[in-house]
């Protein structure tokens, strides 16, 4: 059955099934903030765990870090954020709405306006009649000006300029400022990487598209330190590695593509940046993840601003150098939206419509559900025992209410890949049925083999 997944459909589905709720909803909701419900929190944890497993646990050249959100304000001077972490702001005089100028232009004309100066953007808006205020159609705009998107806050009880600090807009700087600590306290040798997951904050002018762009979000960033001269090959390596991470977890290749940033639009620190873009429902191709060659920019800046020597000493060659850095940076919220859009399916099975989330078992919020066919003993007691035995391994769901068909449908919608049913034959043959969400195939498995069988099925 042909289907069109729209963002509205995903938003409504997420609310109805307890994946994502609007923040502070009983007060009318806070735009741009979202809360993750019982299924959503499990799914997002799985995304972060899968990233950590592949980036850190499965590699010998990687270590982890959990750095603080509030850092020394000098960090942001050194990194360039205080001076240049700006979005281009334009205001409509008629509706008083504020817009990100590059987005306003792009949406109306298709012109890629990211990275243009305020003067260039102002001129385009003035000259191109297609650009109108989306709210009232007006064309009376203020000149474009840069707006720094870092959230300001004050440390301590006194709100004085010396106490001004920021909520971090990226996790990367926490990694750079700990480069020396990690070198001195773990036995890493270049090439190696440091991975960090945590919250970041950006006072986005126009948040939107559900959890795609929010003001508070999480980031999973990894800085991979390499010898200068080997950086280009490592950059290619990480683009491919990250691509494979998505496709191995079931993201459809046709919905994923590379976008090469034109040289003239690169960020101040970047030698080359390639985005992995995803074709988000009814929004179109948008950045999922950015993979940048940040050169030695950040370490050199921090060395200069802090006065610390941040060179690496290569014991094998006796050389000293400041490493180059390759950075894959992504938000789990954006990944979650991509997986949801990709997996959401409305189809017909044996003449009956069903909604099913075809998520990879590793990403699925609930890995399996246990159903007793009857609420009576001994079927129910066998099912309970099985549930109690397995529940510590992963998120498992027990359901004994409603017809078996309805129980399947509920789990299909939640993306649960396997349902284990205890029936009347179980009493005699000590076997249960495992049903596959996507193929609907059922296999009969001895109770004592269920743990191993599910483990094999879940690891994919």
Nearest CB to ligand ATP, comparing residues 180 and 334: 334
Which residue matches tokens 């281009």?
Answer: 88
Binding to ligand ATP, residues 202-231 (CB under 6 A): 202, 204, 213-214, 217, 219
Nearest CB to ligand ATP, comparing residues 170 and 231: 170
Residue 435 near ligand ATP by CB under 6 A: no
In the three-class reduction of DSSP (H, G, I as helix; E, B as strand; rest coil), residue 31 is classed as coil
CA distance 42 to 32: 21
Residues in contact with 129: Cβ distance below 8 Å, sequence separation at least 6, in sequence order: 139
Question: Which residue's C-beta sits nearest to ligand ATP?
Answer: 331
- Residue whose C-alpha is closest to residue 394's, from 410, 422, 417, 372: 417
Segment interacting with ligand ATP (CB under 6 A) among 181-189, 297-305, 327-335, 341-349: 327-335
Segment interacting with ligand ATP (CB under 6 A) among 38-46, 47-55, 329-337, 438-446: 329-337
Residue 242 near ligand ATP by CB under 6 A: no
Nearest CB to ligand ATP, comparing residues 133 and 333: 333
φ/ψ bin of 105: left (φ > 0), alpha (ψ from -120 to 50), beta (otherwise): alpha
Of 331, 365, 372, 417, the one binding ligand ATP (CB under 6 A) is: 331
Residues in contact with 442: Cβ distance below 8 Å, sequence separation at least 6, in sequence order: 433, 434, 435, 436
**From the CB of 73, what's the least distance to ligand ATP, in Å?**
20
Q: Compute the C-alpha angle 331/89/31, nearest 5°.
A: 50
Segment interacting with ligand ATP (CB under 6 A) among 223-231, 250-258, 323-331, 374-382: 323-331
- Residue whose C-alpha is closest to residue 39's, from 247, 439, 393, 336: 336
Segment interacting with ligand ATP (CB under 6 A) among 35-43, 277-285, 317-325, 326-334: 326-334
Residue 171 near ligand ATP by CB under 6 A: no
Binding to ligand ATP, residues 346-375 (CB under 6 A): none
Number of residues engaging ligand ATP in binding (CB under 6 A): 15
SS3 content of the chain, % helix, strand, coil (to 5): 35, 30, 35
Q: Using alpha carbons, list the distances in angstroms from residue 110 to 107, 114, 130, 241, 387.
A: 6, 11, 10, 31, 54
Nearest CB to ligand ATP, comparing residues 81 and 367: 81
Residue 272 near ligand ATP by CB under 6 A: no
Cα dihedral: 320, 55, 172, 31 (round 10): 170
Question: Are 342 and 251 a contacting pair, CB within 8 Å?
Answer: yes
**From the CB of 335, what's the least distance to ligand ATP, in Å?**
7
Residues in contact with 284: Cβ distance below 8 Å, sequence separation at least 6, in sequence order: none
Which residue matches tokens 């982890």?
Answer: 64
Residue 106 near ligand ATP by CB under 6 A: no
**From the CB of 381, what's the least distance to ligand ATP, in Å?**
47
Segment interacting with ligand ATP (CB under 6 A) among 50-58, 74-82, 331-339, 420-428: 331-339
Of 290, 328, 361, 372, the one binding ligand ATP (CB under 6 A) is: 290
Q: Using alpha carbons, list the distances in angstroms from residue 347 to 110, 330, 352, 363.
A: 34, 31, 8, 21
Residue 36 near ligand ATP by CB under 6 A: no
Residue 329 near ligand ATP by CB under 6 A: yes
- Residue whose C-alpha is closest to residue 153's, from 143, 163, 144: 163
**From the CB of 39, what's the least distance to ligand ATP, in Å?**
20
Two tokens, residue 348: 């017909």
Count other C-beta atoms under 10 Å from residue 4's C-beta. Answer: 8
Residue 400 near ligand ATP by CB under 6 A: no
**From the CB of 10, what's the least distance to ligand ATP, in Å?**
15
Segment interacting with ligand ATP (CB under 6 A) among 128-136, 325-333, 344-352, 437-445: 325-333
Q: Which residues bind ligand ATP (CB under 6 A)?
A: 170, 202, 204, 213-214, 217, 219, 287, 289-290, 329-331, 333-334
């Amino acid at each position: 059955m042909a289907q069109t997944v729209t963002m509205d459909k995903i938003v409504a589905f997420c609310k109805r099934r307890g994946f994502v709720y609007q923040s502070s909803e009983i007060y009318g909701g806070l735009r741009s903030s979202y809360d993750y419900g019982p299924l959503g929190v499990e799914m997002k944890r799985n995304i972060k765990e899968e990233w950590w497993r592949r980036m850190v646990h499965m590699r010998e050249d990687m270590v982890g870090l959990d750095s603080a959100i509030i850092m020394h304000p000098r960090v942001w001077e050194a990194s360039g954020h205080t001076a240049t972490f700006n979005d281009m702001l334009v205001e409509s005089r008629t509706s008083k709405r504020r817009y990100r100028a590059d987005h306003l232009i792009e949406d109306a004309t298709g012109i890629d306006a990211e990275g243009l100066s305020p003067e260039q953007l102002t001129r385009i808006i003035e000259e191109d009649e297609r650009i109108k205020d989306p709210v009232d159609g007006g064309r009376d705009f203020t000149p474009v000006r840069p707006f720094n998107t870092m959230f300001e806050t004050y440390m301590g009880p006194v709100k004085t300029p010396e106490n001004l600090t920021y909520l971090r807009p990226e996790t990367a700087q926490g990694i750079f400022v700990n480069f020396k600590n990690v070198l001195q306290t773990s036995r890493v040798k270049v090439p190696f990487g440091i991975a960090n997951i945590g919250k970041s904050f950006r006072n986005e002018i126009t948040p939107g598209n559900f959890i795609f762009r929010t003001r508070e979000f999480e980031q999973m960033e990894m800085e991979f330190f390499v010898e200068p001269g080997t950086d280009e090959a490592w950059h290619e390596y990480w683009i491919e590695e990250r691509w494979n991470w998505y496709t191995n977890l079931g993201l459809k290749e046709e919905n994923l593509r590379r976008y090469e940033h034109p040289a003239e639009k690169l960020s101040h620190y970047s030698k080359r940046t390639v985005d992995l873009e995803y074709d988000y429902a009814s929004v179109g191709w948008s950045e999922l993840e950015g993979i940048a060659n940040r050169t030695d920019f950040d370490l050199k800046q921090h060395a200069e601003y802090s006065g610390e020597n941040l060179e690496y000493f290569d014991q094998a060659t006796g050389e000293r150098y400041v490493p180059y850095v390759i950075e894959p940076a992504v938000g789990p919220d954006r990944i979650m939206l991509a997986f949801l859009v990709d997996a959401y399916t409305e189809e017909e099975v044996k003449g009956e419509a069903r909604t099913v989330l075809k998520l990879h078992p590793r990403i699925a919020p609930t890995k399996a559900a246990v159903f007793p066919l009857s609420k009576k003993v001994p079927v129910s007691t066998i099912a309970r025992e099985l549930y109690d035995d397995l529940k510590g391994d992963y998120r498992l769901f027990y359901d004994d209410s409603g017809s078996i068909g309805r129980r399947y449908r509920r789990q299909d919608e939640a993306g649960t890949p396997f349902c284990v049913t205890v029936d009347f034959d179980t009493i005699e043959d000590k076997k249960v049925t495992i049903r596959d969400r996507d193929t609907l195939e059922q296999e009969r498995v001895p109770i004592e083999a269920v743990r191993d069988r599910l483990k094999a099925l879940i690891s994919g």
